[in-house]
Structure 1
Amino acid sequence: MRYLKYTPYIYILFALFFVYDAIIKWNDPSKTPLLSLLIAALGVFMFFFRRRFAKKMEDRNRKS
């Protein structure tokens, strides 16, 4: 279960990839980068959400 501490960072990696993808699509007038930016924003949101949830569970286990 120790690997669960590092899984939120995968979301940051995905977000960085989709930001890169959006920048590439931004320069091409036939493509729209909106979906890539939305997925990147979702990845950043999930990073903070998972980190907060893991901290909450860790605090709960300490109290028990």
Structure 2
Amino acid sequence: MNYELLGNGDAHLHWHLFPRNKGDMPIKGPVWWLPKEELMDERFRPKEKELNVMKEKLKREITRLHPNM
């Protein structure tokens, strides 16, 4: 997982979370090192079903770590 914490423009903080898979990058490093055209390429965007599976996994893990949320 790559993560980035920002908050330098407004009076708030926000996070960018980049779920990763082994071998998903042609270079070693965070995803934002890729050229923007490659990072935003539709070929790499998860399909709706795959995205829903990832969301459910994330929700279960958050609930496991923070049951009162």
Specify if TM > 0.5. no
Q: TM-score, normalised by structure 2?
A: 0.30
- Whose Rg is larger? 1
Q: TM-score, normalised by structure 1?
A: 0.32
Give the number of the structure with larger relative contact order, counting CA–CA contacts within 8 Å between residues 6 or more apart.
1
Higher strand proportion (structure 1 or 2): 2
Higher helix proportion (structure 1 or 2): 1
